[in-house]
Amino acid sequence: MKNVININDEHLKELEAEAIFVMREVAAQFENKVLLFSGGKDSILLVHLARKAFWPARIPFSLMHIDTGHNFEETLKFRDDLAKEFGAELIVRYVQDSIDKGRVTEEQGVNASRNKAQSITLLDAIDELKIDVAIGGGRRDEEKARAKERFFSHRNEFGQWDPKNQRPELWNIFNGRKHSGEHFRVFPISNWTELDVWQYILNENIKLPELYYTHKRKIFSRNGVYLAWAPFMQLKPNEHVFETDVRCRTIGDITCTGLTLSKAGSLEEIISEIAATRVTERGGRYDDKRSEAAMEDRKKEGYF
């Protein structure tokens, strides 16, 4: 991949048209619709695409955030402002509530993360609110199990994904039929790559949380990944906290979001940096490093 920036790419127009088409299919085929909103760039992009798909009408989905409680502060404010700006209903469900109710056992030890526990909270919310479709920002280029994912991904009544028995998806015809109790996860930006997302954000002038741009932060290094320090993070004896210039390449739960040492302060600089990088986006995600099939296993259980 060469280090080039072209903001008028024809391919972005095609990806946008495809994503809008998928969103409109969701609006037409389902009843109780949510858009999974994490505050990360992919979910922000989804909200913008949804606005484009339905303008001048309002977005026909609620935004749903599964809150681990381990957030970057700024993401929450950004989330609330965006929902207000677009007039969308915001639904928040807390992993802490699932822990308090005994639905989830909190992981212990230095590597403890609530990332996996989110799946339970999410499935409980889907059950509670009778949600029949949840739109997510998953992309096939992110991870090898995701490369096998459909646009319309069926989940059985236990919320599970059966990768070996997926419905074939042909042309632009999407089969969202299901039995009661089952639901769908829909991924409108399946065919986008990380670079496509950034170039589109630049083209469309989409506002992102400041975390994506370079800033000073207290961090530490663990197994080759830079993690943000927060008061609830347990450090191993050989780990020490230091402050430097970083930015987030992805934003998730603070316990598993790897940071990039970077001085990129504008979208153009970020795109140049990504075009030149030799490590994938999720290469810095601590949750994927746990085992080779970590993502596949979490997805089968009901993860995003």
Binding residues vs another protein (CB under 8 A): 1-2, 4, 6, 8-11, 13-18, 20-21, 24-25, 27-28, 51-58, 140-141, 143-148, 163-164, 166-173, 175, 177-179, 190-191, 193, 195-196, 277-280, 283, 292-293, 296
CA-wise closest residue to 107 among 256, 292, 241: 256
Task: State which residue, 93 or 139, has the beta carbon closest to another protein.
Answer: 139
Minimum gap (Å) between residue 119 Cβ and another protein: 18
Minimum gap (Å) between residue 271 Cβ and another protein: 13
Task: State which residue, 73 or 85, has the beta carbon closest to another protein.
Answer: 85
Q: What SS3 state is found at 304?
A: coil
Task: State which residue, 69 or 163, has the beta carbon closest to another protein.
Answer: 163
Q: What SS3 state is found at 246?
A: strand
Minimum gap (Å) between residue 1 Cβ and another protein: 6
Task: State which residue, 37 or 151, has the beta carbon closest to another protein.
Answer: 151
Q: CB atoms < 10 A from the CB of 104, how many?
A: 20
Kindly state the greatest CA–CA separation across the chain.
56
Residue the block writes with tokens 């746990």 = 290
Q: Peptide bond preceding 56: is omega within 30 degrees of 0, i.e. cis?
A: yes
Minimum gap (Å) between residue 67 Cβ and another protein: 29
Q: How far apart are CA 208 and CA 266, in angstroms?
A: 11
Minimum gap (Å) between residue 258 Cβ and another protein: 11
Q: What SS3 state is found at 262?
A: coil
At position 53, the amino acid (one-letter code) is: A
Task: State which residue, 96 or 191, has the beta carbon closest to another protein.
Answer: 191
